[in-house]
Amino acid sequence: MLSSPIILASTSPRRRELVALFDRPFQFVSADVDEAPRPNEAPADLVRRLSRRKAEMGARLVAPTRAPVIGADSIVCLDGAMLGKPADADDATRLLRRLRGRAHVVYSGVTVVEGARVETRLAMTTVWMREFSDAEMAAYVATGDPLDKAGAYAIQHGGFRPVARIEGCQANVMGLPLCHVYLALRALGIAVNAPDRACQTHLGIVCTVARKFGL
């Protein structure tokens, strides 16, 4: 294993779980930024901008090491409207009710900063939610799990299992599209293993995104 660490500008447990699939040691810093969208800002532009801001803030926090820093940001969009994290349990219920039985899109921006070099990638995944019952929804909201998640759900939650199917990257829906991270790192000449097999094994899926990128 290579000894030089990469910095992830996030303390999200889900993102930490996913970057562990690379063959490099990681360190973690918290990069809190204002995540409010600008007027008329498109979802893709928002996540790209915020991922870069987080990576740049992380780079300042670890200076002068000049270690590569990854920033990431994700947003859930339904009918063109951006859905953030719920304010409370009632808001989580409202969001889940809006998403139930419908398709929405998860956008993630990933930026790698190394010194003056910057590489940003965008991932988009279409998610179809199943027709979960009111009782299932209430039980899930009562766990508190939705409260720190955009769109008020976790695709990987074993008890709720809210998603019927997806088109695109499942790791993206969890908050960190690993193939896109890999491609951004590779574009800057930063050596890591391609995450395709490890990611698919870890998530228990067959991924078409890795094949699309030739990984």
The DSSP line for 62-131 is HTTS---EEEEEEEEEETTEEE---SSHHHHHHHHHHHTTSEEEEEEEEEEEETTEEEEEEEEEEEEE--
Give Cα separations from 157 to 28, 43, 127, 143, 178 (angstroms). Answer: 24, 25, 15, 11, 19
Q: Does 79 participate in catalysis according to the annotation? A: no
Strand duo 81-83 + 117-129: pairing: unpaired
**Peptide bond preceding 195: is omega within 30 degrees of 0, i.e. cis?**
no
Coil vs helix vs strand at 163: strand
Q: Which residue in the list 23, 32, 73, 148 is annotated as catalytic? A: 73
Contact 8, 83 (CB under 8 A): no
Catalytic center residues: 73
